Amino acid sequence: MTEFPHSNPPLGADHAQRPGTHWTEDDFSNYMIGLEVAPAVMRHLDICAACSAEARNFQLSIESFNDVTLEWSENRPYARALVPETKPSFGGWLPSAAWAVAAAVVFSVGLPMALQHRNASVEDRPANVQPDTQVASLADENSAAAIDRDNKLMMAVAFELDRADPQPVGFGEITASKEHKRLTEPGNP
Amino acid sequence: MQIALDASMIRLSEQVEFISELDDIDVLVRTYKPRLLRFVAFSIGDQDIAESITQDCFLRAYNGRASFRGDCSVSTWLFSIANNLIRDHLRTKKFQFWRKARATALDITDIASSVPDGMSSPETRMLAHERAGQVRQAIELLSENQRRVFLMRFTEELTLQEISDTIGMPINTVKTHLHRAVVAVRAQLGGSR
């Protein structure tokens, strides 16, 4: 092969006719890269066995590399599970529809039940007693005065029951006894 | 007016085709994995990391398929993602460690043991093995940029414009890297005069 400096000018129109000169590095790389080369450069390839063989050797080496490495990469195990498996999709509307149906069931069943329970609670409560006054009444019933009053009432009832009453009294004859009056008068123990 | 409408319809149909291709991850992997894995493996020189990057690349492509506008081919888009992942890995300390360790470094003798079936004769296989090994050694000596543009041009056969778009490099810089890479590989193959 003929040695020539790399600083040689690019191949001109008459380069193909000049024996002993070969492609420059730029000519070679431009040809291999696929860039546009002068027609004279292409003509030189036809008449110069050395440059032609070198170009062919370069191309064959690249082809061998490509074939061998592609075969290698194709034989690598194929990892299928790249993304998590997803359930079959029924479209974006199905989850929304399911939630809507669930909400409708809750409202249609739960709401009447809640209203019925509320009405029953209201019916059980004494009509003339407000909820907030019930607690106050219970507190009054447990006071000392209320217990004393109840005791007196019970004693009066017991007294009336113990008293002998041979004849049923008439409706207009019922009068409070002296003892009852005494016991129920304020200030008596 | 009609011509513009037709052009937009063609473009739309191409985009739909790309999007449907991207929707099937299995087809995507089967179609592009060999080339992508080869590119990544010989760009970084480690097959285990290359496998990881390639999988990551497909996962990102699949997850980001809605952002694919169809301005380029799916192949170019995948190589662009892979290129970014390679760049990220080259920057990480983790990769620096692995690069030193070379636990799973590519060995061309192992790779070349699976010579394609077309090369059935022992002489042909041996010659292919030898040539592939020479190219492998030559590529290993290139700089990172030279190696990537060389692989994209000669192995993946991307155009200069596609390489420029993929790695975000001016086309003249791509040409410069390619020129230096060809000179270096040519010298390694014994052809430099």
Which residues does chain B have within 8 Å of residue A57's beta carbon, measured at their own beta carbons? 189, 191
- Assess contact for B149 and B177: CB atoms under 8 A: yes
Least confident among A50-54, A124-128, B21-25, B155-159: A124-128
Q: B133 and B101 in one domain?
A: no
Number of domains in chain A: 2
| φ, ψ at B106 (rounded to 5°) | -65, 135
Q: Does the CB of B115 have a partner CB in chain A at under 8 Å?
A: yes
CB-CB under 8 Å, A61 with B135 = yes
- ipTM of this predicted complex? 0.79
CA dihedral A31, A33, A36, A41 (to 10 degrees): -10
CB-CB under 8 Å, B189 with A58 = yes
Closest to B183 (Cβ–Cβ): which among A3, A29, A73?
A: A29
| pLDDT tens digit sequence for B36-94 | 999 999 988 888 888 999 999 999 998 888 888 777 888 888 999 999 999 888 877 55
Amino acid A6: pLDDT: 39
CA distance A119 to chain B (A): 55
Residue A8 included in any domain: no
Residue A52 included in any domain: yes
CB-CB under 8 Å, A69 with B33 = no
How far is CA B168 from its chain centroid? Answer: 15
Q: B136 and B78 in one domain?
A: no
Residue A45 included in any domain: yes
Per-residue tens of pLDDT for chain A, all 189 residues: 333 333 344 444 445 445 557 888 888 999 999 988 888 888 888 888 888 999 999 999 999 999 888 888 888 876 654 555 554 455 555 667 778 888 888 878 777 787 777 776 656 655 555 555 555 555 666 788 888 888 888 888 888 887 755 555 445 555 555 666 666 666 655
Question: Residue B105, SS3?
Answer: strand
CB-CB under 8 Å, A28 with B154 = no
pTM: 0.59
Q: B93 and B65 in one domain?
A: yes
Residues 6+ apart with CB under 8 A from B139: B42, B147, B150, B151, B185
Q: B139 and B84 in one domain?
A: no
CA distance A27 to chain B (A): 10
Q: Decide which of B72, B105, B138 is a domain's last residue.
A: B105
**Residues of chain A with a CB closer than 8 angstroms to some CB in chain B:** 1-4, 22, 25-26, 28-30, 32-35, 54, 57-58, 60-62, 64-76, 78-80, 82-83
CB-CB under 8 Å, B51 with A62 = no
Report which of B131, B19, B97 is spatially closest to residue A62, judged by C-alpha positions.
B131
CA distance B22 to chain A (A): 13
Range of the domain at A55: 15-74
CB-CB under 8 Å, B186 with A82 = no
Q: Does the CB of B125 have a partner CB in chain A at under 8 Å?
A: no
